[in-house]
Amino acid sequence: MSRRRDWSALAGCLAVVAAIAVGVGDREEGVPMGYADVAVGETGASSTFAARVLDVQVGRQVQKDEYSEPLVTDAMFVVVEVAADAFTEAVSFSGDVWLVTTTGHRYEPRPETNLGHPPFTPPGFTGTGTFVFQVPPDRLDGARLLLEPPTGTFITYDVTVRVDLDLTEDTTPVATPIELGEPSLAVTP
Amino acid sequence: MGVRQAGLLRRWLVPLAAVASLVAAVGLAGGFRDAEGYAGPAVDPGEEITLARWRITVDEAELIDSDAFGPGDTRIRLHLTVTLTDRESTYALPEGLVTLVVPGGPEPEPGFGSNGVWSTQLDPDITRTYLLVRTWPPRGDDDAQPPIGTVPDTVTVVVRDEVDAQGPLFREWRLDDVAAVVTLPLTDLREEP
């Protein structure tokens, strides 16, 4: 009797493991994620923050600060200024910001300019900052910014803010180095 | 078989079966195969090497003892041209993808990518130069770098490919076979040889 109970317990454990494995398979495609699709200047909200793109510029040079030489690329820099209001949890956007192209490629912000990113923003505050992406010029057309909610331990439904950056292949690049503004933090009005 | 022998057999059967299973699992995972060398197709410096998610060209190798930050250890600096052909930015060139070998010499210290004003992050289809800097000869137990007897004329760069290993939880790229072996001259740029 005892042996049968042991085997039953083992079978139960294996069934749980199998269920978890099946449940998390193809997680990227399987996460129930919605999108708040907005344009530049419009606000999109997830469960923990509301964000809007204040400005978009493209160019081949970025000036980080007054002390260093500009970063120069043969590709194109996309400089996106963002403001985010934190609701119930602090917002850091660490690893949760992407520029996605119509080809399906995903670009992370360049780390060289991370001092300009929006600061860690506690609930009730609004953080403002700039993300810089390096993208091939022929992929600017239709590019969008993704501001993803933080991924919790358990997969829950949430919304990614997706901003159409209104870029085309004909978008005129800024000829001079694009100066990055200082990030800021203020009480949400 | 007596009762005593049967008892002994039962007592040792389970541990022996467990050890046998373990040995079999290690063997199946490749744990008993010969240590991997770096034999592979020879490729000339300056020739592009196409991998599963990279295009890499090994351009130059230099022996240096100073850089933009001033004098320092003696190091070998590899100049690569790298393009990520995957769909998503990645933090850096993966460890072990490009390995520096000094023929007949001690193995260089593990190191990092160093790219001046640029970080190591690589973005899809953006071709860029990428520097790998390795301290050579490696420091001893006393943390002092031994003197160089003879500067080698050439060094060898071993480039491995990767395989896309989709697990139940994560997708990861794992190192695979040697895709190219590049032998190139080592230019001595030391200020104080």
Q: Work out the percent of chain B whose per-residue pLDDT is above 90.
A: 48
Do residue B82 and residue B147 come from a single domain? Answer: yes
Residues of chain A whose beta carbon is less than 8 angstroms from a beta carbon of chain B are 21, 24-25, 27-28, 68-69, 71, 73, 75, 104-108, 110-112, 133-136, 139
Q: What mean pLDDT do residues A117-139 have? A: 95
Do residue B170 and residue B141 come from a single domain? Answer: yes
Q: What is the pLDDT of residues A144-154, one digit of tens each?
A: 999 998 776 66
**Option in A21, A27, A107 nearest B124 (CB):** A107
Q: What is the pLDDT of residues A80-97, one digit of tens each?
A: 999 999 998 888 887 789
How many angstroms separate the CA atoms of A174 and A132, rounded? Answer: 14
Higher pLDDT, B29 or B126: B126
Q: What mean pLDDT do residues B62-91 have? A: 90
Vertex A81: Cα angle to A80 and A86 (nearest 5): 125
Do residue B27 and residue B68 come from a single domain? Answer: no
DSSP labels for A52-97?
Answer: EEEEEEEEEEEE--SSSPPEEEEEEEEEEEEEEEE-SS-B--TT-E
Counting the structural domains of chain B, the total is: 2
Q: What is the pLDDT of residues B16-28, one digit of tens each?
A: 888 999 988 887 7
Q: Work out the percent of chain B whose per-residue pLDDT is above 70.
A: 91
Higher pLDDT, B170 or A176: A176
In this structure, is residue B193 part of a structural domain?
Answer: no
B15: containing domain? 1-32
Do residue B78 and residue B6 come from a single domain? Answer: no
Q: What is the pLDDT of residues A6-49, one digit of tens each?
A: 888 888 888 887 776 665 554 444 455 799 999 999 999 998 89
What are phi and psi for residue A156, nearest 5 degrees?
-130, 160
Q: What is the pLDDT of residue A102?
A: 97
Do residue B88 and residue B109 come from a single domain? Answer: yes
Q: What is the pTM of this model?
A: 0.80
What ipTM was predicted for this assembly? 0.81
Do residue B164 and residue B107 come from a single domain? Answer: yes
In this structure, is residue B179 part of a structural domain?
Answer: yes
**Option in B89, B117, B121 nearest A106 (CB):** B89
Do residue B119 and residue B171 come from a single domain? Answer: yes
In this structure, is residue B175 part of a structural domain?
Answer: yes
Q: What is the pLDDT of residue A29?
A: 44
Do residue B160 and residue B99 come from a single domain? Answer: yes
